[in-house]
Amino acid sequence: MRNANMLGSAFVLVWFSLIGASPAATPAIPPDSVALGKEFGVIVGPLTLDVRKELNVKLTDGVAVFAIIGNSPAEAAGIKPRVVIVEINHKRVRNLEDFGRLLTEVLPAGNFSIGTWEPTSPDNQGQSQQMNFYFVPNRTD
């Protein structure tokens, strides 16, 4: 898991350097929220002004998805990088603290929904949209 943490940290640093933001100028990321995001299959970060500009979103609440981890529930559901997670189980996600707290509630059961906001892009024909993903545990014998 240590390598995954270093990978996530390196990715966030690269992301911030690509958008011209200084990692030192960004708010501290709660380590539990980041670890829970990785367990779910997403590398996330705060929705700072620089990130909002890069993603072309006006939202101020939510958590930015920087990358998807392969073979994860997030990948299986089709969640994409560059979306904003705005709710978990119909509860608003305002920031990383909310994200971590809500994932703590839902990950053990494995049955939950994630609401995302996809910014306008040529891929979605210029239409912003909210999408909901539903997760049901896969029980094996």
CATH number at residue 104: 2.30.42.10
pTM metric for this prediction: 0.71
CA–CA separation, 29 vs 26, rounded Å? Answer: 9
63 part of a folded domain: yes
Q: What is the pLDDT along the chain (141 residues), one digit of tens a residue?
A: 444 444 444 344 334 434 444 444 445 556 689 899 999 999 999 999 999 999 888 889 999 999 999 999 899 888 999 999 999 999 999 999 999 999 999 888 888 888 888 876 666 554 555 666 666 666 555
Q: Contact at 8 Å (CB) between 79 and 42? A: yes
Instruction: Say how many domains are in the chain.
Output: 1
140 part of a folded domain: no
Q: Which domain holds residue 106?
A: 2-135
50 part of a folded domain: yes
CA–CA separation, 40 vs 50, rounded Å? Answer: 25
